[in-house]
Structure 1
Amino acid sequence: MRTTVNKTHVFALTAVAALVLAACGNKEAAPADAAAPQAANEVQVVKLGFAAPLTGPQAHYGKGYQNGVLLALDDENANPPTIGGKKVKFELMAEDDQADPKTGTQVAQKLVDAQVAGVIGHFNSGTSIPASKIYADAGLPQISMATAPAFTHQGFKTTFRSMTSDTQQGSVMGKFVVEKLGAKKIAIIDDRTAYGQGLADEFEKAAKAAGGEIVKHEFTNDKATDFASILTTIKGAKPDAVFYGGADTQSGPMVIQMKRLGLTVPLLSGEMTRTDNFVKLAGKDAEGTIASLAGVPMEKMPGGKDFEARFKAKYQEMEIYTPYGYDATRQMIAAMKKANSIDPKAYLPELAKNSYAGVTSSAIAFDDKGDLKDGGITVYKVQNGAWTVLETIGAK
């Protein structure tokens, strides 16, 4: 009797289960067929990573850089491209690395874990260099604003820079100060960051090669605001000019303190000083300061006037790094289109070899290290409260 009952129960349960499965199968089949045409028109979201200082004293650099990237994505998304047979919409995953190397590596790992398709940034050399190892290990292309030579000298195939290196800028400024300004005795200060030290070292080499004498080379840090002791020592060496490797948040107070100490020789620096923020910080004491900047002036860039008008209509003020963020983003996407793939392994070779016509240059291309080819340098001077062009060197 127990055996018969058990067999009956088993048969009943089996029959019910079969009916349930059949019903489920029928319910799933209809929506799948109905959704097929919709899937063909589906837009695939592609995330690009971005990293820069978005808070703290260097936030103005990072936000200007980010806004250039955002405008590039707006332009791409206005007419979504088809890549790999699918319409693509680009989104930005932006992270604040605080211009701090440790935070930079944490941000890099976060972007890798999020499976972004590529990275624009980091902004600083000090964050870009340690982060680049993480991106290289993941095979993730990175176009950075880093100018320190070490960034592209690591042998990674994934690292590219969108501005001229410190070797190029330092060489131009070192020669310029001796041959054009006639300065023979030169003092140097750097902030010991990868950027500031690298720029100062390259400047020193070039100044010496041109016949200049380095009478002092002093050091500070990228958080300092009091330079009285350093400047007093330098004043005693009677230099014809002072070169600073570092950011505007230091060079602004520095030039004020130079004038107060009676050190009236010109201050020279790189692109992180060639900002409106420097002029604002230094006020009338900014007069006579000379600084270099990658590329040609905005009004002479191939797409400069149109870009500036479109950008200001949306974001108002533009930082010096804005057009470079824009070009880097569109160049990366252009490589994806060329490869017909958003897979980093597929489009990386195209990024390495392609020449892109952008805002900053009509032929943006990288050499075998990832450095820009044919990058020009423009030297500027503060006159009547504004940066004016002195000379453009090496632009093609």
Structure 2
Amino acid sequence: MKKTLIILIILLVTFGCSQKVKLNKKIDKDLEKREYVSAIDNMEKLISVENNNEINIEKIDLLISEGRDYYKNSITIYENDSDLKKYDRILNSYENLNKINSFLLNLDISYRKKINYDVEDYDSEIEKIRYDAAKKYYDIANKKYQTAESKLEYRRASKLYDKVNNFIFGYEDSIFLQKLSKEKATMNVAILPIKDYRYYSQNMYLGDMIHYKALEWLLFDREIKEFTNIMTDLKLLSDDDYKKIENGDISILSDLKEKDMDLVVYSRLNAVFYEPSVLFTKVTPIKKSVFVNEKVWNRNKEKYDIIQVEKNVYATKYEYSKKSSVKIVMSVKLINPLQNRIMDVDTLSHEVEDVVSWESYTGDERAYDTFSHDERYNRTKDDMLFECANKISEKYKNKISFFLK
């Protein structure tokens, strides 16, 4: 029992020492990179490990002095900046100065006596910069809102009001105006199902697979989700309607004007190509010189001697490869029903190839150094189609996203 206790104590001491070394290295690295908040976090961990014993006072002193100088200089630099982002940077610097002060306040009294730094409170400065930033953003947002003539401009105004509320929530009537500008910025979009009755994979039409995957990606995009209303309750279009759109006749979408539809996305699968496995073979003869032991009759000794003789050995190397591929081609039209015009026409395509190779040998085994391999097989058609559909769905999503941001 006593022996076990001694081992546990040794392990704890060893672990504690390794922790101290790691934390000291992290603090040094943080100071070198001027990441003073991270240095504070690691210093607090080190103090906890040390139990307030043998802490390097000089390092604490360096952290506080350098940190304060760095953030104060940053504030001075950004105060004269005309960029609106200066408010975030100044606020961040003041908050970091307060973190240094919190660190000072939480230090053991014995350490604070050894450090010649007073606690500085920046709460009033933080309150002021928040007010200045909110007022500045609010004024700019109001101008953007009042002069906005498009949904994109209302979106910019909405984002500015959002910044106002980040600095001071509920400043003036920013919440109401943000809601109003967001409503006016919201785009109504109809993404028509991809007509596809021919191409089927993994219990699903490829057109549906591409359509739903693109929708899933779009709805996971924060900005698109916030400012876009993707319509799903539209009447289903007939095959004749699809043919008319394909031929450039978009008059059938005129009733969507009443629904304030900003964008209609039409697409179709033009073709799906599948190239089954084709075997290619390369035959290479191999010739190699080797030394072999042979018996030779020695007349003088009247017996056989074993001597090494150089000899050619032969083999044949067979290199096999099989390649299969799938390719999906689809066309996309983006239509503005309000203006009764086709905004963009594009063709998207993606190809997936799968190549496998192996080799085998015949002949004298001494002529080759490796082993023969069994035949390898290409991925299944469904597997490659699934990958290809995912890839082209991403291209389809990117095409739509370009018009929604």
- The two structures have a TM-score, normalised by structure 1, of 0.25
Point out which structure has higher relative CO (alpha carbons under 8 A, 6+ apart).
Answer: 1
Q: Which has the higher strand share?
A: 2
- The two structures have a TM-score, normalised by structure 2, of 0.25
Please tell me whether Structure 1 or Structure 2 has the larger radius of gyration of its CA atoms: 2
